Amino acid sequence: MADRHDDEPEGNTEDARTDEPGPTDADAVDEDASDDAVDEDAGEQPGDDAAKQDSTAAASSGGGSSMFGRAFGIVAFLAALGGGFWIGQYIQRDDGPFRGYQDETRYRVELRGNEPQRGPDDALVTIIEFSDYECPYCKAADEPLQEAVDDNDDVRLIFKHYPLPMHANAIPAARAAWAAQQQGKFWEMHEHLFEAGGKVEAIDEAARDMGLDVARFRQDMLSEAAKEAIESDRHAAGLLGIGSTPHFVINGRHVRGALADSHWEAVFEREREDAEAILDEGSARASLFEHLMSTAKGRRKAPARGPDASKRHAIGPGEGSPSLGPEDALVTIVEFSDFQCPFCARLAPTVHTLPQRHPDVRVVFRQLPLPNHAAARPAAKAALAAQRQGKFWEMHDAMFEAGGKIDADDLPDLARGIGLDMDRYAQDVEDPEIEAMIARDEAAAREVGVRGTPASFINGRFVGGAQSAQRLDEIIEQERRVAQGLIDAGTPPDRLWQAVLEQPPGGAN
């Protein structure tokens, strides 16, 4: 799922959030890839039922696991409600530059003291990783990270568990890794779990192949100590506003998302400079990390996710964007979407029918292909090519009928199926003007901080996620009253949009 993941992050992440916004593919906006992304972030968000899956699927680890599955499900559910988890994903493109930390402040991670570790205690660079074995972005992040640690003898990696509530196998997998650690085989189990996608059906066999005492392994896996260790790691993440995986705290500084090899080298170079300056001042290398943490903050507010919902944003239709409904509509909905995003596919039929049910509503579709969705950009080009033949919405529906499970190779068949002139289609999908339209939409999304898809702006009012028809109807009615009130007060029709933007969302005072 949010096999997902931020604009601030540097890679792919999975985010966990079960707050008011509906589910999204989130956190990627333009230069990063993720499920929840707008090109710099990416990720998918779970709906309110995400934590329930955590409790029921834990049973897959075998006998006794249903008990801890229920216990952790309750914890996860409460944490999701209290913390407003977002689950999103994104991966920074390998050819892009490292875009820096989420902020320059150093923060202290609460450590148990017995976390799995690779590298020396007196390392110049300490990476603390929060990860989830069922998160595909965590898996993608692991190989370049392990190679970076192997290639640098002044780098230390500390692993902390952060199983996301929406991943059914994440908690059993974290318990399995902890249990293997008790017999000195954490990193072997770590590698196995990522290869297995976090699945634990054959975990006893894997443990046996690693030479573990399987009876002891099973006992440790189901123990209260395993639960406490994982909850301790989750608590440490919560203190620092961490809500997605993978997430790295590097000498106290935060990076969200998977990094490529070149990005790790940039991080190490930056941190070595700071570390060596401290050593030059007389600090002992053995106490370097302690020195860095002595002035680090112990709590960190979670970074803002997405546009400010308390104000309106001047997000207009954009020149040439596909739309339905009258141009002088009282209510204009601008939707940023990705044809490979399952949550966009969920929302699409609802949004498509809004102008039919509300004659004073206009729906505008703007492109936001997430970088971690291989078919998303080709699909956006295909849709805009279809628009040139007057069949954007037919192509829109054909692609979304697949529920986000499309491949670039499928697009010509879909185009042929809706009756497009295929010679013209082949020319149009390669037209630089279409790529320019997509880039323009991405820039507009990025400018207002969109971090996931679907992202809608209803008369400039941000509404994230796959909202229900009932919820959209409620917001439309609120915005209709605002717009009609301005018209009744004498606002000229050609000034209505600007006048609406000057009003508080929903007309609240």
Per-residue pLDDT of 177-198, as tens digits, reads 999 999 999 999 999 999 999 9
Tell me the average pLDDT across 195-203.
95
pLDDT tens digits, one per residue of 272-284: 999 999 999 999 9
DSSP secondary structure of 147-163: HHHHH-TTEEEEEEE--
Share of the chain above pLDDT 90, in %: 66
In terms of pLDDT, which residue wins out, 462 or 37? 462
In terms of pLDDT, which residue wins out, 136 or 103? 136
pLDDT tens digits, one per residue of 57-77: 333 344 443 344 444 333 433
pLDDT tens digits, one per residue of 144-153: 999 999 999 9
pLDDT tens digits, one per residue of 300-325: 887 666 788 889 999 989 889 999 99
- Does any domain span residue 353? yes
pLDDT at 33 over 50: no
Number of structural domains (the chain) is 2
* Same-domain check for residues 87 and 175: yes
Average pLDDT of the chain to the nearest whole number:
82
**Which of 61-70, 193-202, 247-256, 335-344 has the lowest average pLDDT?**
61-70
- Does any domain span residue 282? yes
* Same-domain check for residues 125 and 193: yes
310-314 own/partner pairs: CB under 8 Å, 24+ apart: 310/505, 311/504, 311/505, 312/459, 312/460, 312/461, 312/500, 312/501, 312/503, 312/504, 312/505, 313/448, 313/457, 313/460, 313/461, 313/462, 314/460, 314/501
pLDDT tens digits, one per residue of 227-239: 999 999 999 999 9
Tell me the average pLDDT across 262-275.
93
Q: Are 38 and 28 in contact (CB under 8 A)?
A: yes
* Same-domain check for residues 78 and 143: yes
- Does any domain span residue 302? no
* Same-domain check for residues 477 and 363: yes
In terms of pLDDT, which residue wins out, 87 or 370? 370
* Same-domain check for residues 408 and 472: yes
pLDDT tens digits, one per residue of 378-428: 999 999 999 999 999 999 999 999 888 899 999 999 999 999 999 999 999
Q: Are 90 and 9 in contact (CB under 8 A)?
A: yes
* Same-domain check for residues 331 and 381: yes
Give me the domain span that covers residue 150.
14-294
* Same-domain check for residues 37 and 171: yes
DSSP secondary structure of 223-286: SHHHHHHHHHHHHHHHHTT--EESEEEETTEEEESB--HHHHHHHHHHHHHHHHHHHHTT--GG
* Same-domain check for residues 272 and 129: yes
* Same-domain check for residues 104 and 196: yes
CATH of the domain at 140: 3.40.30.10
